[in-house]
Amino acid sequence: MKIFIVGIDGYLGWPLALHLKKRGHKISGCDNGLRRQLVMEEGANSAIPIANIYERSIILGESNMHYNDVLDYAETESIIKGVMPDAIIHLGEIASAPYSMIGAKHCAFTNTNNIVGTLNLLHIIKDICPKAHLLKLGTLGEYGTPNTDIPEGFGEMKYNGRKDIFAFPKAAGSFYHWTKVHDSNNIMFACRIWGLKSTDIMQGPVYGTRIKAMGSDSKNNTRFDYGQVWGTVINRFCAQAVVGHPLTVYGSGDQQRAFLSLEDSMQCMTLALEHPPNKGEYRVFNQFDRVYSIRELAEIVTSVADSLGIKAHRAKVENPRMEREEHYYNPECNKLPELGYIPAMSIENTVVQILKDLLVHKDRINLDVVLPDIRWDGSKRQSKMEKL
C-alpha cells in the first residue's frame, strides 16, 4: 500500500513511518518542522536527541519525505499527485491545548493551521485521489466529560417521540480541541457529499519513548516533549521524576482520561489502515487502552521510579484549566479490539522504559518549562505548588 503521512516528522508520525515501512508499505510524507520550532520557542527541546529531517529522509531510503506545509495548497496538491497514495494519514496539526489558550495570536494560528490544513487535504483527495482512505487523528478530548457513556462517534437520540442516529454531541475543553471537532464535522460532511472514505481516530494521550520498529539505532529515536505546553501528562511526570522535580498533579488529580502507549498507537492506526472503510463511509474509532485518573498516573510513576532507585515525589498544583475535576468518564472502545487490537505492554513496563531512556539524557530537561502559567481564565500567573 502507498501511504502518505502528513506530519511525518512528529512524535507519532516518525515511528509510524518506520513501523509501516517494516510491514512492507511504501511510505512518503511531508512536514514543515513546526513542532521543532514551537518547542524551541517554548525554551525546550526534545528530551531525547533526534535526527534532523534530512537524516530522516535518508533513513527512509527510497521513500519521499517532503519539507512542506499543507497550508500551501498548490505545493501539497503537486506532491500528493506525484505519489497517488492509497491512504493519507493526517497527523500534521498543532496538538496542544495549552498552546491554543495562550492568547489571540496562538488561538487563531491553531485554528487556521488545523482547520484549513484539513480542508485543503479534503479538496485535494476529492480532486486527485478520491479512492484514498483518509486516516485522521482526532482526540477523545472532542467529547469532553459527559455524564453518560461515550460511544464511538455516533449514538441514538430520541426527541418528541422520534429517534435517529446522530454524531455524539461534543463538549471540547480548549480551542485546540474545538479545532478537532470542526475537523470531524468537515470530514464527515466531505464523505457524505463527495463519497470519500475516512477513519476519524479519537485517541487518548499517548506515552512512551520507543517502539519495536525503531530497533537499537539512536537515529530512529522519536521526539519526547515534557513541558507544560507539549508534554502529555505521563511523559511529563516521567521527565520530572528523573530530575528530582515534584510530579505536578493539576488540582485534585481526580480528572479521568483514557491513555495508550506509543506502541499501541502504532498498532491501532495500522489496524485501521489495513481494514479500510467503504466508499462514502465516515467511521469513528475510540483509541485507547485504559482510563486512569491523574492521581493514579502520578502514583504509578512514583512507584515505578522507586523500583529503579529514583526518589520521586508528587505535588499538587493549582489547576490552570477550566475543567471538572470529579466526573463520570466511560468511553467505549469496541471497534479496534474487533479488528484484533490487544495492548502490547503494561503501563508499568512502559514507564520503566521511559525512565531508563530519560535517565541517559536528563541533562537535556529544562525545568523552566514545566510549571504551568498558561491559564484558561486568561490571567498570567504561575500555578502554586503544594507537596502531597
**Residue among 110, 118, 139, 209 flagged as catalytic:** 139
Helices 233-242/294-307 angle, 10° precision: 30
Cα distance between residue 357 and residue 208, in whole Å: 10
Please write the tens of the pLDDT for every residue from 139-166: 999 999 999 999 999 999 999 999 999 9
The mean of the pLDDT values for the chain is 96
CA quadruple 152, 184, 228, 374: dihedral positive or negative?
negative
Q: Residue 206 — very low, low, confident or very high, per pLDDT cuts 50/70/90?
A: very high
180 is catalytic: yes
139 is catalytic: yes
**Residue among 76, 99, 180, 341 flagged as catalytic:** 180
Convert 232-245 to b/e letters by CB count within 10 Å (16 or more is b): bbbbbbbbbbbbeb
Superfamily for the 2-387 domain: NAD(P)-binding Rossmann-like Domain (3.40.50.720)
Does 284 have pLDDT greater than 80?
Answer: yes
Q: Distances in Å between the alpha carbon of 318 and those of 11, 57, 146, 155, 365?
A: 28, 43, 23, 36, 23
User: How is the chain split into domains, by residue range?
Assistant: 2-387
Q: Residue 214 — very low, low, confident or very high, per pLDDT cuts 50/70/90?
A: very high
222 is catalytic: no
- Beta-bridge mates of residue 330: 149
Q: Where are the alpha helices (DSSP H) in 290-334?
A: 294-307
137 touches 57 (CB < 8 A): no
Instruction: Please tell me the predicted confidence (pLDDT) of residue 388.
Output: 75
Please write the tens of the pLDDT for every residue from 26-80: 999 999 999 999 999 999 999 999 999 999 999 988 668 999 999 999 999 999 9
The pTM score is: 0.97
Q: Which cell numbers hold the place of 199? A: 477513519
The rounded percent of the chain whose pLDDT value lies above 70 is 99
Residues present in the chain in total? 388
Does 382 have pLDDT greater than 90?
Answer: no
Instruction: Please tell me the predicted confidence (pLDDT) of residue 63.
Output: 66
**Residue among 11, 99, 143, 176 flagged as catalytic:** 176
3-state secondary structure of 201: strand
Instruction: Please tell me the predicted confidence (pLDDT) of residue 386.
Output: 82
